Each structure stands twice: as C-alpha cells, then as structure tokens.
Amino acid sequence: MVLAVLCVSLLVVSLDDTILNVALPDIVRDLHASSSDLQWIVDTYAVVFAGLLLTLGSLGDRLGRTWVLAAGLLVFGTGSALSALSSAPSALIAARGGMGVGAAAIMPSTLSILTNVFPEPDERSRAIGIWSGTTGLGVAIGPVVGGWLLSRFWWGSVFLVNVPICLLGLVAVVAIVPNSRDRAAKAPDLPGAALSTVGIAALLWGIIDAPARGWTSPLVVSALCAGLAFLVLFVAWERRTSHPMLELSFFASRRFSAAVAAMAMVVFALMGGLFLFTQYLQFALGFRPFETGLRIAPIALVLMVVAPLSAVLDRRIGTKPVVFTGLALVALAFGLLSSTTTAGGYWEAFPSFLLMGIGVGLAFAPCTEAVMGSVPPARAGVGSATNSASLQIGGATGVAILGSLLNTRYQSLIGTALAPYHLPHAALDAIQSSLGGALAVAQTVGGHTGALLAALARDAFVSGMDLAVLAAAGVVGAAAVLVAAVLPNRPRAPHGDQDPQ
C-alpha cells in the first residue's frame, strides 16, 4: 500500500517530464514563445528542482519525510494550476519554477521513504524496480495524455491534469504513509542551496542564450564564467561547512559515484532528445499532438516494461554488465538517429526509439539501487536527493546543450540561405527564432515561395537535430566507458559502508 502511494506521488513528477513536450508547438503559436523561451519553460523547472533537491531531501530527514512529501504535492498542484493560467512566456516560466519547488520535495521523499520501508536488499531492489517503472509509466503516458488533451482543450490542460493527481496523492500520503526521519539530521544548508541554484541557472542561461547572442558575446561568456565560479564556490563551501547539503564523502564510493554519473549522462541524452523529437515530429513531419504522443510512447512503454526486469538481471548477473549494455544501446540509438532526414519519416526513427527505451530501462533501476544501496538508511533523504539532483541536472543540461547545438546550426544554415534576399527584419527574426516561427511566416507568404521557405527551415532544423543527437550519442558512449572502468559489479556489504570491489 505504501509503495502504491509513493508511486502515485512520483507519477505526477515523471508525467510532467514529457507531457509538456507535445504542447511546445502550441505554446509557440499561442504565447509567441521563441526557441529560447521554450528551453527556459522546460529548464526553469529543472533548475529549481535540482537546486532545491538536496536541501529539501535533508529537510525531510530532519522534519519528517511524509510531511515534506505532502507539502511538495500541495505546492506542485498549485504551481500546475498557475502554469495553466499563464498568459505570457515569462509568467509560465515563473509558474514552472513553483512546480520545481514541489517536485524537489516529492521525488527524494518517495525514494527515501521506500528505502526505509524496504530495508532488506532484495526487497528494496524489487521495490526500486517498480519505482523506476513508475517513472517509465509517467514518461510513457505523458505524450499520449498530453496529445489527447491538446486535441480537445488548450495547452494549459497539460498542467491542470496534475491537480487531481496531487490531491489524490496528498490524501493517500496523510492516511497511509508512515513518517520517518533521521534524529541526527543536521540543519538545512541554505548557503549551499543558494550557491548551487545560482551556479546552475547562470550556466544554463549562458548555454541557452548563446545561439541568439553568439558564443563570444560578453553576456554569454560572463554568465558561463559566473556559473562555473558559483559551482566552484559551492563545492568549496560543502567541503568546509559542518552541515553540507551534498555529502561529498558519498563520492568516495566508486559504486555511488559511477552510478550517479552514468544516470546523469543518460538522462542528459534522453530528456534533451525528447525535447527535440517532439518538435521534429510536429514541425518537421507534420503530426498532430496526439499523433506525436503515440509515436513517442514506444520509448517510454519499453522503458516501463524493462525497468522492473532489469532489477532481476541485476541480481543474477550483476550491476556492471546490465548497466553497460543499457548505455551501449542508448548510444547506438542516438548514433542511428544522427542520420535522420525529413524524407525518411517516422519509421526511420522507430527502431532507435525502441533501442532507447530498452537501454534506459536496463540502466535506470540498477543505477538507482547502486546509489541507494551505497548510503546508510538514516541518510536516505540526502542519498535520494543526490540521486534525483543528478537526474534533473542531467536533464536540464541536456535540454540546454542539445537545444543550443540545434539552434546554433539551424540559425547558421537558415541565416546563410536567406542572406541574399534582404527580408524584413521582423520576418527574419521570426524565421530564425524557431522552426515554428519559420513555418508561420511560410504559411503567411504562401504559394511556391512559402513552400520553399518551409522546406528550407525543416532541412535546417533536422540538420541541427542530427548534430545534437550525435553529441548525445558521444555523451552516453562516454558513460558506458565510465561504467566499464569504474562501476563495481556487486556490493560486498549492504549500505556501502565499505567501497565494493
């Protein structure tokens, strides 16, 4: 019963990871959002989520994980309602930040409660497999539910759907879930939270705005340098404070460190890829939102099935071969997608989508178990928050970097092609801001000229996407090498008091 309640609570967070993607083209049209706006609509949530995960995870250890989970559901539901009512990109970005606060309380609480409810390693491994499968379920039904809602309602409905799930979860948490906390927990590390959040936000701002302003722009360079400086200060502060939000001592375990890094790198590719694929299917191939959701669903449906099975494989043949195989399949999937063309259509990408779902499903649950099995149960909140923070930072940087690679190449190709024609400034800005803007201009122009502009913009977008997914393949390939070299195959003792193998 407790596991079911935790999975319902987690579902609302994982659902939001993909349900928004199919609504991005509608947001472009209705709110006149640029490509940069879209990246911030996705990434503001992830930046706040990642920045507060460790603080709220440790707060759950200190005050009680059930109460922090209940508060998170309340805040997330409120932020979802405000997002649905937003009338401008800036308002939606702010409301998404509020949702990030709620998600930062929900996700680590579910995993830390699970770890305490299932202390026996085999039971915990099976429970984490189901927990990981729930993440896959949310990713799976997100695009389909989002597409169905968009076929009947406006884009805000993809946020309103969270509200009843949050209310149901809130009632069930209060009624069923036992409270637990670490009586020796230290005070929240507020300076650490501030330094990490500002550092991540500045770094992502520089990456996201670089295509529009130029990578050598003083503002972009300043933001990137400031972000790195704040993150260095964050690490320095964590090393000297008596109550760090990030337990650097956990990273002395090869099992913990390799698993955290591998998950961050695979989610970098997955979330960045989903951000690109939904736009590709709708803008480049012309599918409607519901049709797009159905075509993305195989990634997550396969992930949902494979994630619980991966826990069985983990126990039988060990963590390293299962995770390595998963990462190799994901890298192969992205490598195959790097040759995508507008002429190839959906079925050209379909085998890669299946490989991606299998690979992520194989890697996710064993890595999560490796992380949570490496920390003492009393520190489950901090361990869970570190695990979740790696996922959110990986996803946010994936959207930022892969989106920026796409936008840089798209703007370069489309700008070069249109340079001889001396278009009006407003039209050129719309065309270069996003593929959606270019298609809107093409529709206004109409005729043969409009059709040529649309084809040119689609080709430039797909070329940018090919570059981005090739970079994603490289990142996941590096993760596979890291796992092969560093990740121990099996732990020697429960809860990782000794670094295994």
pLDDT in tens, 229-277: 998 998 888 888 877 777 777 777 888 888 888 888 988 898 888 888 8
Residue 495: predicted pLDDT = 44
Under DSSP, the state recorded for 185 is P
Q: Compute the distance between CA of residue 108 and CA of residue 161 in angstroms, rounded to an integer.
A: 22
**Mean pLDDT of all residues in the chain?**
81
Kindly state whether residues 206 and 268 are assigned to the same domain: no
State mean pLDDT over 382-399. Answer: 76
Report residue 294's pLDDT band, with 50, 70 and 90 as the boundaries: confident
Are 123 and 76 part of one and the same domain? Answer: yes
Residue range 406-435: average pLDDT? 80
> Do the domain assignments include residue 249?
yes
Secondary structure of residue 246 in the 3-state scheme:
coil
pLDDT of 491 > 60? The answer is no
Residues 133 and 157 in one domain: yes
Q: How confident is the model at residue 381 (pLDDT cuts 50, 70, 90)?
A: low
Assess whether 181 and 194 both reside in one domain: no
Cα 400 to Cα 396: distance, rounded to the nearest angstrom: 6
pLDDT tier for residue 395 given thresholds of 50, 70 and 90: confident
Q: What end-to-end distance do the CA atoms of the chain give, in Å?
A: 36
* 41 in any annotated domain: yes
**137: its two tokens:** 């379920």
Is 304 within a domain? yes
CATH code (residue 184): 1.20.1250.20
Reported residue count of the chain is 501
Q: Are residues 237 and 367 in the same domain?
A: no
pTM of the model: 0.75
Cα–Cα distance between 277 and 25 in angstroms, integer?
A: 12
> How much of the chain, in percent, has pLDDT values that exceed 70?
91
Domain presence at residue 437: no
Specify whether 326 is located in the same domain as 295: yes
Question: Following CA atoms 356, 321, 470, 204 in sequence, which dihedral angle do they give, to the nearest 10 degrees?
Answer: 90
Do 207 and 250 fall within a single domain?
A: no
Q: Report the alpha-carbon distance of residue 397 to residue 207 in Å, rounded.
A: 9
Q: Which residues contact 150 (CB under 8 A, 6 or more apart)?
A: 22, 23, 26, 157, 158, 289, 290
Residue 432 falls inside a structural domain: no
pLDDT in tens, 198-217: 887 787 778 777 766 777 88
Q: Tokens representing 454?
A: 């649309």
Q: How many Cα atoms occupy the beta-carbon half-sphere of 101 within 13 Å?
A: 12
In 174-285, the DSSP E strands lie at none
* Enclosing domain of residue 221: 190-242
Highest average pLDDT, of 228-232, 384-388, 404-408, comes from 228-232
Q: How far is CA 474 from the centre of its chain?
A: 18
The answer to whether position 422 is within a domain reads no
Q: Which of 242, 277, 309 is the last residue of a domain?
A: 242
Please tell me whether residues 33 and 71 are part of one structural domain.
yes
* Residues ≥6 apart with Cβ < 8 Å to 195: 230, 231, 233, 234, 237
DSSP conformation class of 151: T
Q: How confident is the model at residue 334 (pLDDT cuts 50, 70, 90)?
A: very high
Non-local CB neighbours of 408 within 8 Å, separated by 6+ positions: 210, 211, 215, 464
Give dist(CA 44, CA 79) in Å, integer: 13
Nearest to 331, CA basis, from 481, 464, 465: 481
Query: Based on the domain organization, do 362 and 392 belong to the same domain?
Result: yes
Asked if residue 420 belongs to a domain, the reply is no
Q: Please report the pLDDT score of residue 327 as a whole number.
A: 93
Tens digits of residue pLDDT in 295-323: 887 887 788 788 778 877 877 888 888 88
Helix 254-279 vs helix 289-317: crossing angle, to nearest 10: 160
Same domain, 363 and 465: yes
DSSP letters, 407-426, are HHHHHHHHHHHHGGG---HH
Q: Quick one: 44 and 147 in the same domain?
A: yes
Domain count, the chain: 2
C-alpha distance from residue 242 to each of 189, 235, 237, 238 (Å): 9, 13, 10, 8
In this structure, the answer to whether residues 281 and 174 fall within a common structural domain is: yes
Q: Which tokens is 202 given?
A: 């500045």
